[in-house]
Structure 1
Amino acid sequence: MIRLSSLIRPAPFLVAALAVSPLALSGTFSTAQAADMPQTTPQTTTQLDFSVTGNAHAAPTELTVRLSVRSDSPSAATAQKDVNTRMAAALKLAGGQAGIEAKAGGYSIYENTPEHAPKSWTARQELELSGKDSVQLLALAGQLQSQSLMLEGMDWSLDDATREQLLKDARTTALKQVRQQAEQSAQTLGLRLVRLKEVRISSQEPGPRPVMLMAARMADSAPPQRSPDEQTLRVNVFVQAELSQ
């Protein structure tokens, strides 16, 4: 994106200080003297607005799997007790796996009031598993599914250290292009680059890419599968450059 706008820079002016004697009040200032004063031509500058983008790519390093525990019962207390018991068992199983982080998430309880069926209560809680060893993590997800937990979705992401390094790489790539593009644009316009007036940087990271799956109990312990998607981080640099003849 390039936007050009011309700016007229006011020329500096010269103030002449004249010492006037009380005895010479009738004196006159010659037009010839005024003609001898230095004249400055206004300078015209052009503002060039443009942007460059730097990209960095890497394979994802972390996998997150989202499951849920759900129980339906005529009694709210019974539904909640069942969810609590099964969640405790799931956390215990996950806690015994090195390199896997397990988090119990949102909890909900609500009443079902169908028109032609008895009322019932549904309790539900989320479980999030994350780790770098996808084979181990997916095997654990398969075990939990065989214990009637429902697989809600999963996505790949980057760990903090990898993300920071990719952002640094993308930023460096973008900044290396700034002066080169400014000078090339100035040359194309028959102008020269005077200075870079303003440089602003923003980053764009990939958001989560959830994969919604059938919330069904697995008949066996075969783990779910999820191929990793390449992660791309972008850094945008917005520049204002001043050009002149």
Structure 2
Amino acid sequence: MKMKSLAILMAAASVPAISSAQEPAAAAIQGTRLDIVATGEVSTTPDIASISAGVVTQAPTAAAAMAENAQRMAATVAALKKAGVADRDIQTSSIGLQPQYKYAENQPPVITGYQASNQLIIRFRDVKRAGAILDALVAAGANQINGPNLSVDHPEALLDQARVKAIADAKARAELYAKAAGLSIKRIVSISEGSFDPGPRPVPMMAMRAEKMADTSIEAGEQRLSVSVSVTFELQ
């Protein structure tokens, strides 16, 4: 019985060695190694905008500050929905309540009131209408607005175009190096992708006061999407 158990253990221990021996080994580079880092880039018009908008209120008590804030925020959200912004594009990002202090020399700080804040992240799927919605926000009571951030809603197909361009650029440069060195490309050894760059983002707008704005406009402009790749070639 002991001999049978020992045989089973020995057979089990030998399995990894057999499996690893069957794994194909990567072919070593026999010629000259060439590493290329290339970037592919495409340009497009952003089709989605997002902003941070909120209400900041102050009152002598915490309850009063929160109550006024909730009332004004409800009016703000109602204005967004009336303007056609879908529920999925309105998201609460933060709610805050802080005491306000009065400071005097050689005296402990004294609470003079409370400040309540409620912030939303709002996405606009029709960038051309974003300016009108901003005006509606301020008219409804929003007194803190930052943004916009412009982006491409579904960049996958564009990023694939950038990848194709990056590989084409890497191959063209490898051909150039090989020709200059009197060699030719034998094969591509490896390809790895770096991070993609969505392009520069707009500078956030300053917080706005609660007066009504007139005909605010947002220009979508152009955005660059780029992908970098690292390609290793073997030259001969």
> Same-fold call, TM > 0.5?
yes
TM-fit CA distance, 1:229: 3.3
Q: Gapped runs of 5+ residues in structure 2?
A: 1-28, 105-109
CA RMSD across the alignment: 2.2
Are 2:75 and 1:83 equivalent residues in the alignment? no
C-alpha distance in structure 1 between counterparts of 2:205 and 2:35, whole Å: 42
Aligned to 2:176: 184
C-alpha distance in structure 2 between counterparts of 1:132 and 1:122, whole Å: 32
TM-fit CA distance, 1:111: 0.8
Aligned to 1:241: 233
C-alpha distance in structure 2 between counterparts of 1:179 and 1:241, whole Å: 9
Q: 2:45 aligns with which of 59, 63, 68?
A: 59
Q: 2:151 aligns with which of 143, 153, 157?
A: 157
Q: Look up the SS of the partner of 1:143 in the other structure.
A: helix
C-alpha distance in structure 1 between counterparts of 2:131 and 2:30, whole Å: 65
TM-score by length of 1: 0.73
C-alpha distance in structure 2 between counterparts of 1:73 and 1:167, whole Å: 50
Q: Gapped runs of 5+ residues in structure 1?
A: 1-42
Decide which structure has the larger Cα Rg and report it.
1
C-alpha distance in structure 2 between counterparts of 1:231 and 1:118, whole Å: 48
C-alpha distance in structure 2 between counterparts of 1:115 and 1:209, whole Å: 38
Aligned to 2:91: 103
C-alpha distance in structure 2 between counterparts of 1:240 and 1:134, whole Å: 42
C-alpha distance in structure 2 between counterparts of 1:210 and 1:64, whole Å: 13
What amino acid does structure 2 have at the position aligned with 1:209?
Answer: P
Are 2:163 and 1:171 equivalent residues in the alignment? yes
What amino acid does structure 2 have at the position aligned with 1:85?
Answer: Q
C-alpha distance in structure 2 between counterparts of 1:228 and 1:214, whole Å: 20
Aligned to 2:7: none
After superposition, residues 121-136 of structure 1 pair within 5 angstroms as 121-136=114-129
Q: Look up the SS of the partner of 1:119 in the other structure.
A: strand
C-alpha distance in structure 2 between counterparts of 1:188 and 1:108, whole Å: 64
Aligned to 1:209: 202
Q: Look up the SS of the partner of 1:225 in the other structure.
A: coil
Normalized per residue, the structure richer in helix is: 2
Aligned to 1:198: 190
Q: 1:140 aligns with which of 126, 133, 145?
A: 133
Once the two structures are superposed, residues 31-65 of structure 1 have per-residue CA deviations (whole angstroms, 9 ceiling, x without a partner) of xxxxxxxxxxxx96221111111100001111223
C-alpha distance in structure 2 between counterparts of 1:44 and 1:62, whole Å: 50
Q: Residue 227 and residue 57 in structure 1: after superposition, are their counterparts in 2 closer, same or farther (change >3 A)?
A: same
Aligned length: 199
What amino acid does structure 2 have at the position aligned with 1:86?
Answer: R
TM-fit CA distance, 1:104: 2.5
C-alpha distance in structure 1 between counterparts of 2:30 and 2:136, whole Å: 73
Q: Is the 8 A contact 1:52 1:238 kept in 2?
A: yes
C-alpha distance in structure 2 between counterparts of 1:99 and 1:144, whole Å: 12
TM-score by length of 2: 0.76
C-alpha distance in structure 1 between counterparts of 2:125 and 2:63, whole Å: 37
What amino acid does structure 1 have at the position aligned with 2:152?
Answer: L
Q: Is the 8 A contact 1:59 1:231 kept in 2?
A: yes
Q: Residue 132 and residue 85 in structure 1: after superposition, are their counterparts in 2 closer, same or farther (change >3 A)?
A: same
After superposition, residues 220-231 of structure 1 pair within 5 angstroms as 220-231=212-223
